[in-house]
């Protein structure tokens, strides 16, 4: 994304800066990057203040590496920026963080959008990860994230490969993934009161469709959309369909709020 990254008080992020728009806060996954949300940023920046913080997955002190540590980071970021309420959107681990934040701070959440979210079940690299130095293995695992393997560009595969082969980053990836498994939210999702949108790829192999069905069952005010020929990152693989569904949902939430 050809957008300047802002750095303030230990936070790195990009922000569209629409002063009179509601805030749409996007949270990336374990191997995610700002580019994962490029289509959303472009589509919604005209009407929303779109913000993407870079989650410090690889920078946290090793003893603070956990989903809880990342939720604490988001909490501090929202407070630092002074956002009164945010529309949260999270992919994969980002969805897990969004849910935990919403449970802890319901007064700050206008809506939640989850796509390929962890929090109930996920199957990513498995027990064999990380397999350092094996580029073809990383390439295959990255490609398996998508229905269409060509979405896994060489640039994306190189990013994942570099992370896996950096010892400090690799340790933090494993620690964060284990923390996500420990923080299963099945018995806490009834506490989610914010309107929630679930957008899932029918061919998601990391958080399969049954995971979306379970989220839909456990979150009272939720609606579920499946996208065909789509894997774990619908906002990347089916950007137009994803953004149309998201736009309709945010409009619905805003209209209901205005009617109160």
All domains of the chain in start order, with CATH: 6-259 (3.40.50.1820)
Mean pLDDT of 204-215: 96
Residue with tokens 């996920």: 122
Rounded Cα gap, residues 48 and 41, in angstroms: 9
More confident residue, 257 or 59: 59
Q: How many CB atoms lie within 10 A of CB 246?
A: 24
Tens-place pLDDT, residues 222-241: 999 999 999 999 999 999 99
Instruction: Inform me whether the pLDDT recorded for 2 exceeds 90.
Output: no
**Highest averaged pLDDT of the listed ranges 14-23, 103-112, 124-133:** 103-112
Q: How many CB atoms lie within 10 A of CB 240?
A: 9
- The predicted pLDDT at position 259 comes to 72
Rounded Cα gap, residues 254 and 172, in angstroms: 38
Rounded Cα gap, residues 113 and 90, in angstroms: 6
**Tokens linked to 237:** 């693989």
Mean pLDDT of 60-85: 94
Mean pLDDT of 55-78: 93
Rounded Cα gap, residues 68 and 75, in angstroms: 10
- The predicted pLDDT at position 260 comes to 65
Mean pLDDT of the chain: 92
The strand order across the sheet containing 222-227 reads 6-8, 11-15, 48-53, 22-27, 86-91, 109-115, 196-201, 222-227
- The predicted pLDDT at position 131 comes to 61
- The predicted pLDDT at position 127 comes to 42
Q: Which helix (H) or strand (E) holds 89?
A: strand 86-91
- The predicted pLDDT at position 35 comes to 86
- Specify whether the backbone of 240 is left (phi greater than 0), alpha (psi in -120 to 50) or beta: alpha
Tens-place pLDDT, residues 7-58: 999 999 999 988 788 999 999 998 888 889 999 999 999 999 999 999 999 8
Check: CB of residue 215 under 8 Å from CB of residue 243: no
Check: CB of residue 95 under 8 Å from CB of residue 27: yes
Rounded Cα gap, residues 214 and 218, in angstroms: 6
For 161-178, letters b (16+ CB in 10 Å) and e give bebbbeeebbebbebbbe
- The predicted pLDDT at position 120 comes to 96
More confident residue, 164 or 216: 216
Residues forming a β-bridge with 131:
none
130 cis-preceded (ω within 30 degrees of 0): yes
**Of the given ranges (98-107, 111-120, 172-181, 236-245), which has the lowest mean pLDDT?**
172-181
Rounded Cα gap, residues 19 and 48, in angstroms: 8
């Amino acid at each position: 994304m050809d957008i300047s990254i802002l750095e303030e008080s230990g936070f790195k992020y990009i922000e569209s800066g629409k002063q009179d728009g509601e805030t749409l806060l996007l949270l990336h996954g374990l191997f995610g990057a700002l580019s994962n949300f490029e289509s959303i940023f472009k589509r919604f920046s005209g009407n929303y203040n779109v913000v993407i913080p870079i989650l410090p997955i690889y920078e946290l002190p090793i003893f603070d590496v956990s989903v809880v540590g990342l939720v604490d980071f988001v909490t501090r970021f929202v407070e630092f920026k002074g956002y009164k309420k945010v529309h949260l959107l999270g992919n994969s681990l980002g969805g897990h963080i969004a849910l935990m934040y919403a449970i802890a701070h319901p007064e700050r959440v206008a809506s939640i959008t989850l796509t390929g979210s962890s929090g109930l079940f996920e199957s990513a690299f498995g027990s064999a990860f990380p397999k350092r130095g094996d580029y073809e293995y990383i390439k295959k695992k990255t490609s398996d994230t998508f229905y269409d393997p060509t979405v896994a560009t060489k640039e994306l595969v190189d990013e994942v490969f570099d992370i896996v082969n950096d010892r400090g980053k690799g340790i933090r990836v494993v620690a964060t993934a284990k923390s996500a498994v420990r923080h299963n939210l099945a018995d806490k999702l009834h506490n989610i009161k914010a309107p929630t949108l679930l957008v899932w790829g029918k061919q998601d192999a990391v958080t399969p469709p049954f995971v979306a069905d379970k989220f839909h069952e456990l979150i009272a005010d939720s609606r579920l959309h499946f996208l065909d020929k789509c894997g774990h990152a619908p906002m990347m693989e089916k950007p137009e369909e994803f953004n149309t569904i998201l736009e309709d949902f945010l409009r619905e939430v805003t209209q209901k709020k205005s009617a109160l």
